[in-house]
A = this chain, B = another copy of it.
């Protein structure tokens, strides 16, 4: 039986101490939806790196800001959305997909290497919306 598509949303303070909790939620969701151990690690790593970037670059390590995480669980994939309320897009008007960022550090490279899609775009009103998609291998369940 294929699971229906479901949403789990989680809002957290932009404090690194919550990264472990977030990984746990992602990991458990991946298990419930039948992702393999490797796929599960990929999802945990990508979400971790995405949030770490928000904490570091978008909020400048201010731990009192907010990060919204949405896990959209579909039969064949998990779509993860990370939303911040930073000034990034308002201030510079430049997109995080700029050439300069393509040469970014390790975090971004890891996200791109373990996920099938990684897209940044301006969120409604303010902030950035990062969408990442991970397909799961066909399973005989």
Residue numbers of A with Cβ under 8 A of B are 4, 6-13, 15, 17-18, 20-21, 24-25, 28-29, 32, 64
Q: Which residues of B contact A8 (CB under 8 A)?
A: 10-13, 18, 21
State the oligomeric state as a number of copies. 2
Q: Which residues of B contact A20 (CB under 8 A)?
A: 28
User: Would A17 and B32 count as touching, CB distance under 8 A?
Assistant: yes
Q: Is the interface of A mostly helix, strand, loop or mixed?
A: mixed
Q: Which residue of B lies closest to A64 (CB)?
A: B4
Q: Which residues of B contact A25 (CB under 8 A)?
A: 10, 21, 24-25
User: Would A11 and B13 count as touching, CB distance under 8 A?
Assistant: no
Q: Which residues of B contact A6 (CB under 8 A)?
A: 13, 15
